[in-house]
């Protein structure tokens, strides 16, 4: 009997214990579920507010319409006022988070490779490939960036490239004075392409350069297009142009490789980007380099042509536009550059890189032009994981657009942002000229390695233009979509002048 009672008590205790464990486990599961739901709700609350617009097209039409207006930043400003500095939308068929916050943009740029990777339209990835400079990440991208940046800053290049730019600008401007009307946008493109190709491959004016330019122009037409590769489509034509372009460049690279031994290549300074890349390949530095080094070097040279194709000629064109509309700023620019020219004539010394970089008001004009032009209006990145920045959550897999134009035209950062005011850079004393609020050349690991070279090129162009010529610009307007350009390509009439002193403003 005692055994039955004991067994009953043990069984009862087991049932009670099991029941308690079951209820406790259920409570834990409920709590975990509640916590998981709470976490989801928290994440949902942190995702930037906004509207995805219409199915498929999203808010693309409104985005494009603002690009054709006089104030393309209106699209951002309207949503910024509704949803805050960081918001979500859908443009060009892609749900995206847009940041108009300078500090958020900085984090997006600086965390590149670990948290964010480049995200470009499909037409660009189709045309350039997955291993292009724009797409690669990690040590390989960093090594290439460092190599090219070091070459652009080398004393050997600085001395030579200054002479090359002066010669090219001088010949171009001399030809303008013989033309009834000059379309600045077209003519500066020819000039800057010539300078760029000489820097990359040491090719000078001639038939080879003309053929290269024709093929390159056909190639870049497909960077922003419908990504369909059927014969006759824009992308198909651009891919064929790229094949022909690569063939031309590969011939140059092969001749250079055969003409220069490894010993000479290692001991003599690099004359152009081809030398830099061939030296890196021969040293075995590029571990990711394919088995065909000629293809690798040729591909990278073609890709390096792209950033210089739009940025430099557009900056030069808009500088002429803004100066034409602001005679007081133009007079100040003439005064500084005439004084600079007078000092050089008296000393008998040649102009050098540091001379041009010391022209303070000229660089004020350049900075103000780049700020207002917003040639690179932002960068697209894709989040590799959930990222929280300043209380905003960018979910894994989402694209984020770090909007430079919104920061450059922000009234809280720049007083009267739509006014061309080169003197503002003296007033702010460089406090805004940082990778936070002034990013015309990007930032982070992908900061343009040729930014100083770009400013040198614009400085030389402006110096020779304002000290040797006068011009009258016709009416024209800026269009910001799909890229920044002048609607009529900025027609001007140019005349040579002899200047020995300050010239009255009305001469322009």
Please report, for the domain that includes residue 317, its CATH number: 1.10.630.10
Asked whether residue 317 is assigned to any structural domain, the reply reads: yes
260-274 tens-digit pLDDT: 766 656 668 899 999
CA dist., res. 356 & res. 461, Å (int) = 11
- Mean pLDDT confidence for 15-43: 53
In this prediction, residue 29 has a pLDDT band, given cuts at 50, 70 and 90, of low
Asked whether residue 59 is assigned to any structural domain, the reply reads: no
CA dist., res. 232 & res. 236, Å (int) = 6
Which of 57-71, 106-120, 327-341, 383-397 is predicted least confidently?
106-120
CA dist., res. 506 & res. 268, Å (int) = 51
Determine the Cα angle at 330 with ends 451 and 487, to 5°. Answer: 70
Helix (H) / strand (E) containing 197 = helix 184-201
Asked whether residue 96 is assigned to any structural domain, the reply reads: no
State residue 114's pLDDT score.
79
pLDDT reading at 45 higher than 60: no
Q: How many domains does the chain have?
A: 1
Asked whether residue 97 is assigned to any structural domain, the reply reads: no
Is there a cis peptide before residue 482, judged by omega within 30 degrees of 0? yes
CA dist., res. 456 & res. 335, Å (int) = 19
Enter the pTM of the model: 0.88
Asked whether residue 75 is assigned to any structural domain, the reply reads: no
225 is in an annotated binding site: no
Which of 97, 98, 89 has the alpha carbon at shortest distance from 54?
A: 89
Q: Report the SS3 class of residue 383.
A: strand
Residues 6+ apart with CB under 8 A from 233: 225, 226
CA dist., res. 14 & res. 276, Å (int) = 79
Asked whether residue 228 is assigned to any structural domain, the reply reads: yes
473, β-bridge pairs: 492
In this prediction, residue 112 has a pLDDT band, given cuts at 50, 70 and 90, of low
CA dist., res. 463 & res. 183, Å (int) = 19
Asked whether residue 357 is assigned to any structural domain, the reply reads: yes
122-168 tens-digit pLDDT: 888 888 887 788 777 778 888 898 999 999 999 989 989 999 999 99
Q: Report the SS3 class of residue 289.
A: coil
Percentage of the chain lying above the pLDDT 70 cut:
84
491-508 tens-digit pLDDT: 999 999 986 544 444 444
pLDDT reading at 66 higher than 80: yes
In this prediction, residue 317 has a pLDDT band, given cuts at 50, 70 and 90, of very high
Question: Could you tell me how far CA 266 lies from the centroid of its own chain?
Answer: 32
28 by Cβ neighbours in 10 Å (0-12 / 13-18 / 19+) ranks as exposed
State residue 34's pLDDT score.
55
Domain extent, residue 151, equals: 131-374+409-507
Asked whether residue 299 is assigned to any structural domain, the reply reads: yes
82 by Cβ neighbours in 10 Å (0-12 / 13-18 / 19+) ranks as exposed
CB atoms near residue 373 (< 10 Å): 23
**pLDDT, the chain, mean:** 86
Which of left, alpha, beta for 202 (phi over 0: left; psi -120 to 50: alpha)? left
């Amino acid at each position: 009997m005692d055994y039955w009672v004991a067994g009953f008590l043990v069984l009862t205790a087991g049932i009670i214990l099991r029941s308690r464990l079951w209820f406790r486990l259920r409570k834990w599961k409920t709590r975990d579920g509640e916590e998981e739901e709470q976490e989801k709700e928290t994440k949902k609350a942190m995702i930037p507010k906004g509207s995805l617009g219409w199915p498929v097209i999203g808010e693309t039409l409104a985005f494009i319409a603002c690009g054709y207006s006089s104030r393309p930043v209106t699209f951002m400003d309207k949503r910024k006022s509704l949803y805050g500095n960081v918001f979500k939308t859908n443009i060009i068929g892609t749900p995206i988070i847009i940041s108009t916050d300078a500090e958020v943009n900085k984090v997006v740029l600086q965390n590149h490779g670990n948290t964010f990777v480049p995200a470009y339209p499909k037409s660009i990835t189709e045309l350039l490939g997955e291993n292009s400079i724009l797409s690669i990440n990690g040590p390989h991208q960093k090594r290439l960036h460092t190599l090219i940046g070091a070459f652009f800053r080398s004393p050997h290049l600085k001395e030579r490239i200054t002479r090359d730019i002066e010669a090219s600008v001088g010949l171009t401007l001399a030809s303008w004075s013989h033309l009834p009307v000059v379309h600045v946008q077209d003519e500066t493109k020819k000039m800057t392409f010539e300078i760029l190709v000489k820097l990359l491959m040491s090719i000078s004016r001639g038939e080879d350069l003309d053929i290269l330019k024709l093929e390159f122009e056909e190639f870049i037409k497909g960077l922003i297009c419908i990504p369909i590769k059927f014969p006759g489509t824009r992308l198909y034509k651009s891919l064929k142009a790229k094949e022909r372009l690569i063939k031309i460049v590969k011939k140059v690279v092969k001749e250079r490789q055969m003409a220069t031994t490894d010993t000479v290549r290692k001991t003599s300074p690099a004359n152009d980007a081809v030398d830099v890349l061939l030296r890196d390949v021969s040293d075995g530095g590029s571990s990711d380099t394919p088995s065909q080094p000629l293809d690798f070097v040729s591909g990278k040279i073609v890709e390096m042509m792209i950033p210089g194709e739009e940025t430099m000629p557009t900056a030069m064109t808009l500088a002429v536009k803004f100066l034409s509309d602001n005679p007081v700023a133009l007079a100040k620019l003439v005064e500084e550059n005439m004084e600079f020219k007078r000092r050089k004539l008296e000393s008998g010394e040649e102009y050098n890189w540091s001379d041009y970089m010391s022209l303070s008001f000229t660089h004020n004009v350049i900075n103000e032009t780049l700020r207002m032009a917003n040639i690179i209006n932002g960068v697209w990145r894709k989040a590799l994981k959930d990222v929280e920045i300043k209380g905003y959550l960018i979910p894994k897999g989402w694209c984020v657009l770090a909007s430079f134009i919104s920061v450059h035209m922000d009234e809280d950062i720049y007083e009267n942002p739509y006014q061309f005011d080169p003197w503002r850079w003296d007033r702010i004393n460089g406090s805004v000229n940082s990778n936070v609020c002034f990013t015309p050349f990007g930032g982070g690991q992908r900061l343009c390695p040729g930014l100083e070279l770009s400013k040198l090129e614009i400085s030389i162009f402006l110096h020779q233009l304002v000290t040797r010529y006068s011009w009258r610009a016709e009416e024209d307007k800026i269009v910001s979509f799909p890229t920044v350009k002048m609607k009529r390509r900025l027609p001007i009439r140019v005349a040579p002048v002899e200047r020995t002193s300050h010239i009255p403003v009305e001469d322009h």
